[in-house]
Amino acid sequence: MLQLINIASPEDAPRIDALMGEQRNNPLFVADDLGFIERHISEEGFTLLIESPDPEEAELSAFLILRFPGEAQDNLGRDLDFSAGELNKCVHMESLVVSLVAQGQGMGGMLISAGLKEAAKRGAEFAFATVHPDNTASLKSFYKNGFEVKADVIKYGGKPRKLLFRKL
């Protein structure tokens, strides 16, 4: 079935949180809470959704949370010694989740591509993501969208990650 990519509204936060719940016990994934999701819909960035165009199905198949960290201490640009001006042009691909039933259909890559375009429209020049080294599906989606590994890092309370980067 045809899928649509939309920008989330505050009313979508509970659906996003429910889908993120599918991954909360996955050791390769760092799940966020409802407050984080709400902030990234209306304040600190934006969130893209893939859902069925059929209103009767109203299924959320996937989402991507994007954040504009500015000069925050956790801006991944700091790992690459970015200047203050460069930090303010960064976007983070924070959380990408594809529902268990929709995996393997290329939705992650579609969301990354759409997220890069929307972030560039909003002034971003540099995109970052972190991915667990064993999450081959996610790494593949980022590589297909022009990201490259810049470093192996420890983030999120001691978890190994690949630091991915690309210019927009």
Q: Of all helices (H) and strands (E), which one includes residue 140?
A: helix 136-144
Return the CATH number at 147: 3.40.630.30
Pairing of strands 4-7, 45-51: antiparallel
Residue 68 confidence (pLDDT)? 97
- Per DSSP, 79 falls in state G
Helices 34-42 and 13-21 pack at an angle, to 10 degrees, of 140
Distances (CA, A) of 71 to 74, 83, 85: 8, 9, 9
Q: Domain range holding 145? A: 4-167
Q: Which residue stretches of the chain have pLDDT < 70?
A: 1-3, 52-58
Q: In the prediction, which pLDDT does 1 show?
A: 45
Distance CA 49, CA 76 (A): 24
- Write down the pTM of the prediction: 0.91
Q: For the segment 133-157, what is each residue's pLDDT rounded down to a tens digit?
A: 999 999 999 999 999 999 999 998 8
At 3 the pLDDT is 62
CA distance 94 to 47: 10
| Residue 152, beta-bridge partner list | 162
Q: How many CA atoms lie within 13 A of 71 on its CB side?
A: 3
What is the Cα–Cα distance from 19 to 58, expressed in whole angstroms?
13
Q: How far is 11 from 151, CA to CA, in rounded Å?
A: 37
Tell me what pLDDT residue 78 has: 97
Q: What are phi and psi of 30, to 5 degrees?
A: -110, 110
Q: Tally the C-alpha atoms within 13 A of residue 16's C-alpha that lie toward its C-beta.
A: 29
- The structural domain count of the chain equals 1
Would you call 97 helix, strand, or coil by DSSP? strand
- Give the bridge partners for 33, in sequence order: none
CA nearest neighbour of 44 among 96, 106, 90: 90
How confident is the model at residue 101, as a pLDDT?
Answer: 84
